[in-house]
Every structure is written in C-alpha cells, then in structure tokens.
Amino acid sequence: MANYIWQNGKLVPFEQATTHVMSHALHYGTGVFEGIRAYELANGETAVLALPEHIDRMFISSDPLAMTIPYSKEEVCKAVVETVKANQLKSCYIRPLAYYGLPPTKVRVRPDPKTPVEVIVYSYDMGDYLPDVALDVKISDFIRLHPQSTAVGAKICGHYVNSLQALLQISGTKYNELIMLDYEGYVSEGSSDNVFVVKDGVIYTPELGTILTGITRKIVIGLAQDLGYKVVETKIKPEELYSADEVFFTGTAVEVRAAGTINDQTIGDGKEGKITHHLKTEYLKICRGQNPKYNHYLTVVK
Ligand SMILES: Cc1ncc(COP(=O)(O)O)c(C=O)c1O
C-alpha cells in the first residue's frame, strides 16, 4: 500500500488525497494518465523505465482535451521520482493522472476555462499484472474505439470504458486477455497492451492509427531490430493470428507475455515461443539495467 500520493505539488498521506464529487473528470472521463514501472537494478538502486517518454505521452494525450497541465514535464518527472522515493518502493507501478477538477460554474461537457487541472501521482507494488504463462486469449466482440470518434492514440480516462466492457465479457471465463479488432476488422490491441505476431521469423505488429502509441511497443520494436529481427508495422487480419508461429503482448504493466491460445486455437505449440522468450528476456534486462546500451531509458531514483 502506498503511504503517500503526490497531489498538486505536494506529497500527502494516501487517505487525504481526495477530490470533489463535482469534479468534471468524474462526470465525463476528462483525464489523462500514464502507467509507468520502476525496477530494482542489480546494484540495489531503483530506476523508472522510460519516464520522459511516458510524461511526453501524457502531455500529448492532454491536447485533444484542450487541457493545460499546470506543471512542466520536468516537474511531473520529478514528482514521479519523489513519489517512488517517499513510498520507499524498490520496484513498483506508477500512475500519474491529470484531470479536470471542480468547475467554478454549472455542469457543462465543455469545461469552463477556469476549471482547474489537478495532477496526482500514485505508486504501488504491483507485481505481475498478468500471470507469467502462455495466455488464453479471446477475440472480443467489442471493437476498439473508432479513430474518428476520439483520439485513440491518447491515454484518456474515458477510453477505458471500452477496455472495461471487453474485459467484463471475459471475466469469470478461462481467458486471461483479449484482442480487440478495429472498425475495419483488423487486429488492434489488447485491453492494456499492444499485439505482436511472429511468422517465419518476421515480427509483425498493427500500425499506429487505431491503437495506443505503446511505449513498450516502441522499446520492443527497437530491441528486436537491434537483435537482428525484421519488424513490420502493418494491418493484420484475425486469421493471421491463428496461423502465426507466435503471438505476444507488450505493455508497461504486462511487460512481454505470450498468447498460448486465441479463441481456443493453439498458437504454435501453445507455449511461450522462442522469439517471444528472447525479447522478453532482453526486455527485462533493459528494465533492470543489465544492458548498458539502453540505460538511457532509465531514470535512477535518488
Ligand atoms: C489500450 C492499451 N494499449 C496498449 C498499452 C501499452 O502501452 P505501454 O506500452 O505504453 O504501457 C496500454 C497500456 O498503457 C493500453 O492501455
């Protein structure tokens, strides 16, 4: 349990980090957030993975909501580090959130320009988000948000009603994760992760446009290319999942996870494939500071 939350410029005890019931975001989903991980390094220090990249995305996500985050990116990065430090966490998940708070006037979808933008940073010891096994995956009946309905590349709170409904559909079943198709029927992404497909040694992943601009996706694409794999960003048909040698997910929370089955059809031999295993191992080395080439992704908590 986290003891402190950074709220609007200062660390406050967890119980005191409250907000007003008439906060705009509570009514309309008008917040933007990030999911970040910090890892314990071999030398016992803690480092936040891809911190500037996440905070950059948070600011980009705020644009479609015409939201001005009242801190600089550097200040929010500093707030993340302070929060991890204050909670004395060796490794953890970190949740920065910026949202429209209590409007000075009436209830309106378009927030009064004087509506404050509140910022918080929470952190806790998450552990594994999904079990470390080859996952049973369902192709969801829910499609991913239409790119002409909202800025799908942004991490906006309200978008997650789509993920939640898809997740509720598999809750209580054997499925651990789902894949949503886009409005044209192509593979888009999971509930909180991006999708990769391996066929004949080549790695394919859905192109940007109907998916979140995943930071783990970007790190894994770069890593795979550095390791000599060919990576192709393209449209992927659901049938191509079934005939793939391997399918895997990437995300800050899930890290790298293999799909064992999709809609009950076995992928490869149903276990974590060779390339997935290779990328997962190398990705975790980056997270733990065991590959100096990628240390630029690490912000040490001091
Ligand atoms: C819908 C969705 N897609 C993909 C991802 C993976 O993004 P990242 O690698 O930046 O965590 C996430 C997690 O943030 C997500 O919620």
Note whether ipTM > 0.90 here. Answer: yes
Catalytic residue list: 155
For residue 93, give Cα distances in angstroms to 62, 257, 279. 21, 17, 21
pLDDT exceeding 70 applies to what percent of the chain? 99
**CATH (domain of 200):** 3.20.10.10
Given this model, what pLDDT does residue 2 score?
61
Q: Does any domain span residue 293?
A: no
CA of 105 to the centre of ligand 1 (A): 35
**C-beta 176 within 6 A of ligand 1:** no
Does 12 lie in the same domain as 73?
yes
Structural domain of 41: 4-124
**CATH (domain of 115):** 3.30.470.10
Q: Does any domain span residue 169?
A: yes
Given this model, what pLDDT does residue 44 score?
95
Query: What distance lies between CA 25 and its chain's CA centroid?
Result: 20
**C-beta 214 within 6 A of ligand 1:** yes
Per-residue pLDDT reduced to its tens digit, 165-192: 999 999 999 999 999 999 999 999 999 9
Give residue 107's pLDDT band: very low, low, confident or very high (50, 70, 90): confident
- Counted domains in the chain: 2
